[in-house]
Structure 1
């Protein structure tokens, strides 16, 4: 994490707060998190406005605490020395490790920043709203329905007071109407902020920093799919993606240059000793990359369970910072969506990314010049040409192909 957007303050200047009381919400490129108060005291001033994007280390607001009650947050000291005055100021900063409220303190809420904003404008405590979206996600419509039910029992005066809090800027799709004689042109917009903006910045940095080369390949999954079906009959349902991840980890050990990070300033390539595979995951809030740590040490079944867990947490907005950090290589399994090819952008500062595309049955000429039907998958690998060359990339994908095309040899090959 390098920066975050201030979504909402729960407090204002002059409010009295207690330790760990949520002060504000921050949108990072990975999640929306609440920052708790590092100490009890009074909010002296709020420095950063909502909607502003600030870098890590920026002071967001200042608390006044009684002498001797300065606190530490996540092991990082926010006030180095006690003040000699009766009252001291304690700045609350945006730290690299963003604390998240525990479910024991507040019910875990799955809702987009905009949905939360709408709820606040209507004076709705989002904890009281029942979500009808996927995994209990609260939608804007859920908030509107809650307001409608609430207002049915309120007076006309109360309803008018509530509705007056909602301004035109709170409509996510804004309609700009321009008179053109008897015709009107309607333009629709959508917000470019939060995770979408962070993804854009990261992709731009990667594309303009790394000289990308994309290599295309295809692999025969016939034997792997047959082996997977055999496992199903034994009540072992293992995803194909779990086999891919294991094979990637094994191939990286033979070609560590793709499990590396380049430090141009110090003129050195760091060969990572851990094999942490990032999983590009599509969510309602945009692309996110949770990490399977030490994939080389896990069995295929363990990878399968970890993959399910991370995908669920990503969809429900429950990923932690530990789930997101430490990736050394990224895979993107877009085949189930129907893709047949792509030129993926590397997850900077990593060296490589491989995307698995659609698998389909097609006629193939075998070694005996016979036409047979096989299950063929296309894949594309992007790599940093500053760190590795095309021949090495081909050797790497050939190693991966050999492993997934011959699953019955894994007891011999995977030492």
Structure 2
């Protein structure tokens, strides 16, 4: 019997969602025949069979999120009747009952405990990876499942003496003024999770006794019923303690449909929740006069067409952003929650938000500072087309240092963009509209005006620097000839 494991589909990918099985149990399959569709970081791929034989058992269902190297199916290579599958090893087992319950309760992403064993504490290099484990949504409160029988308190530590804990648990402990050494960890190798911190705080306040004694097997019935009395929030931290439960208004049950949070929508939900929890988002708004850029683009449009380039305004904006980022480097940073370090980047990869029928996705233009406007125009068109068709590769969605979202393409005046973690900022660009303005000679003239809205993480970027960054982008866009002369 051959185990089919979820492979490493891309660097830094630690899990994948089974979107759709393409074969049924008992089907005869050929070598390299697609078995299922898997989504990782908004990229959908078909997973081929590593051997020929008969699909004996599917170990993960549609909608399940499994860790890399976890078993998802068993194939009988003899081609005979499917034999009863042997119990899988812990590291390759399907999701545990408790993990399944937690996932169904909050729609979160699950990382198998076995996949994380023997790794250093807080080994994630991005905030979203650190947030992608099964504890990330437990910050919503004590209403989440707790282990039925926690092990005796232990304080497993790293080589440097720090208690093993996930970044979100450390942050919550700081907010609650809680010593992590006093908390029992239920994660792999005794790692402390957010749920452990909340449970410990609840024990101190007499709030979590009922939750701790509940058996995991009772979870479906408990989560299906409204809570009799919601638990109180911890005294410090001010965080909600129970997932929000929607109740259908009486008499409207037949007018509602329920759709599982899956695929692209779940990936977007996870990313947005990470942005909300792991950034201190602030907004600055300005406007730019694009009249000279409109004229400049009109002059070079024929040259672009002769070179096979569809020239929009986006390549100019990306180039201006890259120049401004070099002058204001705090906007080209990330914050490593695990090590409490600011990551300063000397490369300029700009994410481009693209609205597709499946949902929002953010392909990344790499090394923008080394590319001409025509090069950027070709890449913008290529990424946009392939994003619409769902043809992007995983590495084309990773590695951004800053993001741009073109809200104006659908007519918005201005907006408050959500930061694409782990980036420090995102620039919203909007509709170009003809408006009367007063020029430097006090004449009222018609100009092509556009609003810019910059969302930034105030932990990493001061308001003054954010405003100066916007002014630099404006200076470059209002003087396109000078933009073309800027050294990168």
TM-score strictly above 0.5: yes
Which secondary structure does the structure 2 equivalent of 1:246 belong to? Answer: helix
Say if 2:280 is the partner of 1:211.
Answer: yes
Distance 2:39 2:434 in 1: 43
**Counterpart of 2:300?**
231
Which secondary structure does the structure 2 equivalent of 1:33 belong to? Answer: strand
Match 1:396 to one of 459, 462, 469: 469
**Counterpart of 1:25?**
37
Deviation per CA, 1:209-234, whole angstroms, max 9, x where unpaired?
A: 11101111111101000101111254
Q: How does 1:244-393 map to 2 (within 5 A)?
A: 244-393=317-466
Which secondary structure does the structure 1 equivalent of 2:431 belong to? Answer: strand
Aligned residue pairs: how many?
309
Which secondary structure does the structure 2 equivalent of 1:54 belong to? Answer: strand
- Which of the pair is proportionally richer in strand? 1
Match 2:48 to one of 36, 56, 66: 36
Q: How does 1:42-57 map to 2 (within 5 A)?
A: 42-57=54-69
Distance 1:265 1:276 in 2: 23
Deviation per CA, 1:63-90, whole angstroms, max 9, x where unpaired?
A: 4558xxxxxxxxxxxxxxxxxxxxxxxx
Match 2:72 to one of 56, 60, 63: 60
Asked if structure 1 preserves the Cα contact closer than 8 Å seen for 2:320 and 2:483, the reply is no
Asked if structure 2 preserves the Cα contact closer than 8 Å seen for 1:9 and 1:24, the reply is yes
Distance 1:242 1:321 in 2: 23
Deviation per CA, 1:253-280, whole angstroms, max 9, x where unpaired?
A: 1122211111122121111232111110
Q: How big is the shift at 1:388?
A: 1.2
Over 3 Å counting, the alpha-carbon distance change for 1:257 and 1:190 in structure 2 is same
Q: How big is the shift at 1:332?
A: 0.6
Listed as ranges, the gaps of 5+ residues in structure 2 are: 1-12, 79-91, 96-110, 112-247
Match 1:10 to one of 1, 15, 22: 22
Which secondary structure does the structure 1 equivalent of 2:485 belong to? Answer: helix
Distance 2:54 2:94 in 1: 16
Asked if structure 2 preserves the Cα contact closer than 8 Å seen for 1:249 and 1:275, the reply is yes
Over 3 Å counting, the alpha-carbon distance change for 1:411 and 1:281 in structure 2 is closer
Distance 1:381 1:345 in 2: 10
Distance 2:431 2:266 in 1: 29
Q: How big is the shift at 1:16?
A: 4.4
Q: How big is the shift at 1:291?
A: 0.9
Asked if structure 2 preserves the Cα contact closer than 8 Å seen for 1:29 and 1:194, the reply is no
Say if 2:199 is the partner of 1:187.
Answer: no
Q: How does the TM-score come out when normalised to structure 1?
A: 0.68
Asked if structure 2 preserves the Cα contact closer than 8 Å seen for 1:62 and 1:92, the reply is no
Q: How does the TM-score come out when normalised to structure 2?
A: 0.58
Q: How big is the shift at 1:371?
A: 1.6
**Counterpart of 1:410?**
483
Over 3 Å counting, the alpha-carbon distance change for 1:32 and 1:65 in structure 2 is same
Over 3 Å counting, the alpha-carbon distance change for 1:59 and 1:184 in structure 2 is closer
Which secondary structure does the structure 2 equivalent of 1:341 belong to? Answer: coil
Distance 1:413 1:33 in 2: 41
Distance 1:26 1:9 in 2: 9
Asked if structure 2 preserves the Cα contact closer than 8 Å seen for 1:202 and 1:348, the reply is yes
Over 3 Å counting, the alpha-carbon distance change for 1:235 and 1:34 in structure 2 is closer
Distance 1:344 1:404 in 2: 21
